[in-house]
Structure 1
Amino acid sequence: MSVTLETDEHKALREAVAALGRRHGRTFDREALWQEAAKLGYLGVNLPEEYGGGGGGISELSIVLEELATAGCPLMLMVVSPAICGTVIARFGTEEQKREWLPGLADGTRTMAFGITEPDAGSNSHRITTTARRDPDTGDWILTGRKVFISGVDIADATLIVGRTADARTGNLKPCLFIVPRDAEGFQRTRIDMELNAAEKQFELVLDDVRLPADALVGDEDAGLLQLFAGLNPERIMTAAFAIGMGRFALNRAIEYARERTVWKTPIGAHQAIAHPLAQAHIELELARLMMQKAAHLYDAGDDIGAGEAANMAKYAAAEACVKAVDQSVHTLGGNGLTREFGLAQLITAARVSRIAPVSREMILNYVSHQTLGLPKSY
């Protein structure tokens, strides 16, 4: 039995979501699961009660995603729609934006994608070239730029786009967030041909003088990175939840197989060459979960600086533990680990996504080197 630092309410939520995941399993229908999870209040568990949410935080939402991933049926749009976009709007949106978007994000009837990555500004948000300028006559915003590797744009009602505006005093560009409707004129998308098998597709976006009303801006034009990282920290925590759940799914399959598969006199799980790597994978997943819980707790408590460090560490630890758990699980099953029956082979690629997105392991190591250890930068 896993020992966690969770409340009784968290444990009850975990058990309930796990039961939902088992009912759907790895052959799940994404839309059907999305609707049922929404009906049960799981999709909006982190959003304010006054706007139809559960009144919880990222702690609760990460439990939902982890348990669905453990059952083999993760809803990746949860990372983007309620976690990033819902959190940003709840914290910084106007009352009108909250009333318009949060109830739909909470009950699953509306979804929102998130657009930050650009072809020439992957990990360097300071190089974002998507710009937003005001029309002096109407007050509208006009967005121009490109984005790449943006998930779920084809099914989302809108995309929360990270652009940059010019500071009137200094002329320096600063990041700002804009809600861009899917059908906005000049908002074009092209699907990227991915070998990764996932329900949510990846797109390249072109914003060709997309005109938006003044109230499309989310939050304060001068807040800059504060608002941006209010969404990126939950993204890292939720990515950790996804990775931990994926690793647990793989490990559970391997443990079950190792208990039953008998080649000589005893099941293969009796041999330390099989048992010890699986035990090590379990330990590392549990350690990653503790860091994820710490990050979620700090974020929900309003400690953005502490949460930033912990969220990066949690994402790093979870990704490494996930890759190791998946690899060891495939090796445990041997040839069966590559069959469709057991559902592990596709995780070999999927597990590595958690290492490179939404931020690479190397950039996390840079963050810890500079921010935590106080070492000088090389860039």
Structure 2
Amino acid sequence: MSVNASSFIETDEQKELRAAVSKLGERYSYVDYVLPKARRGEPLTELWNEAGKLGFLGVNLPEEYGGGGAGIYELALVQEELAAQGAGLLLVVVSPAICGTIIGKYGTEEQKAEWIPGLADGSKIMAFGITEADAGSNSHQIGTTARRDGADWILRGNKIFISGVDQADAVLIVARTEDHKTGRLKPALFIVPADAEGFVKQPMEMDIVEPDHQFTLFLDDVRLPAEALVGSEDAALMQLFSGLNPERILGAAMAIGMGRYAVNAAVAYAKERTVWKTPIGAHQGIAHPLAQVKIELELAKLMMQKAAALYDSGDDFGAAEAANMAKYAAAEASIKALDQAIQTHGGAGLTKEYGLAAMLGAARIARVAPVSREMILNFVSQHSLGLPRSY
């Protein structure tokens, strides 16, 4: 039986894409561009626009609608290389990865024509609204409802921790329709324009340094036309997870990139910083922890590549398992890398000059979102190990 090495040996085109994205990230450096923007609470608009014009944001979207026609593997590659320069884009996880993927797979021709070209070149942004205060990301417990009123839909409910709504043209909202045959509520997806009547956006006060803001959303009988529904109201759970697996993969890519940034910063400092006429990087107390996090980041990257390759090949269950594992491993390795980079710098690691402490706060998000470490362990316990369900 032959082994497909495509997940581990990249094509010339993929290597060229990495190099081009890395070059872009170098021009929008963390210390000179990203961190000052983040401290002012300003989005990375210039970087986003240029990445869109270069075709990086839409590499995974259908070619016939202006995308690159590649896969989630390539989009994860873009995210990783940007993040490795300290310039990861959170909305890449949301707009092209989740929303673009779902619309590309399940949207009508009209929805594809209206949204995908803009999502691909960055001129349009779509946020994603699933999380609720009482349900988290548990789509079985979502309380936002969608009921028919003639040909229209009426949405009522609320969402929490929704990223980038202030930058978005619309939000892909996960609501629940009622199955009149069973009386049960089931999930469905709706495109809600950002300026829809009855749609209220309230910023959340976060205690991390990030350029993108989080919002609480209130939908007070928001009226939508029939064409706002994405895909089938009877198959939305499957459609929903076609976007959640890319979310986990792209989240892993961003975490791995931040970890790479941290290790590179620490190595550069350890080569230059001299104590008693010797660079501190010559000491095993400095070198070995950095070598360890390098290994752990590379292992996480391999799982991310596996997850992306499985997803792009159409293996939904295999992709779900690998995507969860990749997101878990990437978060742990990224946090460890940032912590060790700060330790390598000593007191300098806590200064504004290097910005590593601020990045550690951002990296810490990956242990919580888009799915918590504990829920990933629940998934692996049940689905990978076959243990009884604990919740």
Structure 2 residue 259 is matched with structure 1 residue 247: yes
1:39 deviation in Å? 1.0
Scaled by the length of structure 1, what TM-score is found?
Answer: 0.97
Question: 1:19 aligns to what?
Answer: 23
Distance 2:369 2:306 in 1: 21
What residue ranges of structure 2 are gaps of 5+ in the alignment? Answer: 1-6, 38-43
* Greater mean alpha carbon deviation, residues 311-320 or residues 20-29: 20-29
Alignment of 1:266-345 (within 5 A): 266-345=278-357
The question of whether the paired residues in 1 share the 8 Å contact of 2:178 and 2:186 is answered with yes
Structure 2 residue 67 is matched with structure 1 residue 63: no
Moved >4 Å (runs of 4+): none
Distance 2:8 2:266 in 1: 23
| Equivalent AA in structure 1 for residue 15 of structure 2 | K
SS of 1:300's partner is: helix
| Equivalent AA in structure 1 for residue 314 of structure 2 | G
SS of 2:328's partner is: helix
1:323 deviation in Å? 0.5
Distance 2:317 2:185 in 1: 23
What per-residue deviation string (whole Å, max 9, x for no partner) do you get for residues 108-130 of structure 1?
Answer: 11000000000101142211000
Alignment of 1:160-239 (within 5 A): 160-239=172-251
The question of whether the paired residues in 2 share the 8 Å contact of 1:237 and 1:296 is answered with yes
What per-residue deviation string (whole Å, max 9, x for no partner) do you get for residues 59-91 of structure 1?
Answer: 000111111111011111110000000000000
Distance 2:48 2:15 in 1: 21
Distance 2:54 2:94 in 1: 19
Structure 2 residue 14 is matched with structure 1 residue 10: yes
Distance 1:155 1:332 in 2: 37
1:168 deviation in Å? 2.3
1:352 deviation in Å? 0.8
| Equivalent AA in structure 2 for residue 299 of structure 1 | Y
1:167 deviation in Å? 1.2
Distance 1:265 1:336 in 2: 19
Distance 2:180 2:320 in 1: 29
Scaled by the length of structure 2, what TM-score is found?
Answer: 0.94
Distance 1:327 1:51 in 2: 42
Question: 1:264 aligns to what?
Answer: 276
Distance 2:325 2:253 in 1: 13
2:361 equivalent among 324, 333, 349: 349
| Equivalent AA in structure 1 for residue 121 of structure 2 | D
Distance 2:210 2:148 in 1: 38
The question of whether the paired residues in 1 share the 8 Å contact of 2:381 and 2:387 is answered with yes
| Equivalent AA in structure 2 for residue 94 of structure 1 | T
The question of whether the paired residues in 2 share the 8 Å contact of 1:123 and 1:363 is answered with no
Question: 1:105 aligns to what?
Answer: 119
The question of whether the paired residues in 1 share the 8 Å contact of 2:331 and 2:363 is answered with yes
1:79 equivalent among 62, 80, 93: 93
What per-residue deviation string (whole Å, max 9, x for no partner) do you get for residues 157-204 of structure 1?
Answer: 000000011112111111110000000000001100011111110000
What per-residue deviation string (whole Å, max 9, x for no partner) do you get for residues 221-243 of structure 1?
Answer: 11031001001000000000000
1:4 deviation in Å? 4.5
1:5 deviation in Å? 2.7
Q: Over aligned residues, Cα RMSD in angstroms?
A: 1.1
1:151 deviation in Å? 0.5
Distance 1:209 1:174 in 2: 18
1:36 deviation in Å? 1.0
Alignment of 1:23-38 (within 5 A): 23-26=27-30, 27-28=32-33, 30-38=44-52
Structure 2 residue 142 is matched with structure 1 residue 128: yes
What residue ranges of structure 1 are gaps of 5+ in the alignment? Answer: none
